Amino acid sequence: MHNEIEKILISQEEIQEKCQEIGAQLTEEYDGRFPLVIGVLKGAMPFMGDLLKRVETHLEMDFMDVSSYNGGMKSTGEVKIVKDLDTQVEGRDLLIIEDIIDSGLTLSYLVDLFKYRKAKSIRIVTLLDKPTGRSANIKADIIGFEVPDEFVVGYGLDYEEKYRNLPYIGVLKPEVYGG
Ligand code: PRP
Ligand code: MN
Ligand code: MG
């Protein structure tokens, strides 16, 4: 699997250090507020796990499974809810966790939905931000790393459902996706 990676953009150590840093920030911001932390499946899973281990205050976790890429390299532009939350968001402080913001369509859809459901506050933390890909008007409150306009995989991010279990963020060799 590792020999299909052309280069590592963000190492395992850099990711872990960033989780520690953002975790400390969230501890301060949410102390005493019992936020509802929402992981956007499937991509956010590794980041959510490592990040929340570093948050030292009470929080509630829930998951939303949405998909717009169908495993491919381009957003279909249509966000599909695969699994909704089990929790009521009305009056809650929400923290949405994402692995990457690219076009911004996934998050703008979710933010609109949670506003409609009367969340008290909505904040977004994303490990990666790809500002060059943006078509929706959306910005994260906390960003781990900015990435260039390349198709990245690993640490939650897939290509045809593979590579999510890599411990780092990397770029695939072009021959892997027939480029
Ligand atoms: C990917 C990624 C983000 C979203 C970002 O999810 O995990 O959730 O796309 O792209 P956007 O800003 O252009 O909407 P995907 O739909 O591939 O589902 P997955 O997390 O299950 O892979
Ligand atoms: Mn996703
Ligand atoms: Mg995907």
ipTM: 0.97
- Alpha-carbon span 51 to 30, nearest angstrom: 14
Ligand 1 first shell, C-beta below 6 A: 40-43, 67-69, 75, 98-106, 158
Q: E strand or H helix at 121, and its extent?
A: strand 121-129
Tell the residue nearest (CA) to atom 7 of ligand 1. Answer: 43
How many other CB atoms are there within 10 angstroms of residue 40's CB atom? Answer: 24
Please count the structural domains in the chain.
1
CATH number at residue 13: 3.40.50.2020
Range(s) of the domain holding residue 153: 2-177
HSE-CB of 89 using CA atoms within 13 angstroms: 25
Residues tagged active-site: 102
Q: In terms of pTM, does the model score above 0.90?
A: yes
Q: Phi, psi at residue 118, to the nearest 5°? A: 65, 45
Q: What's the pLDDT tens digit per position in 49-61?
A: 999 999 999 999 9
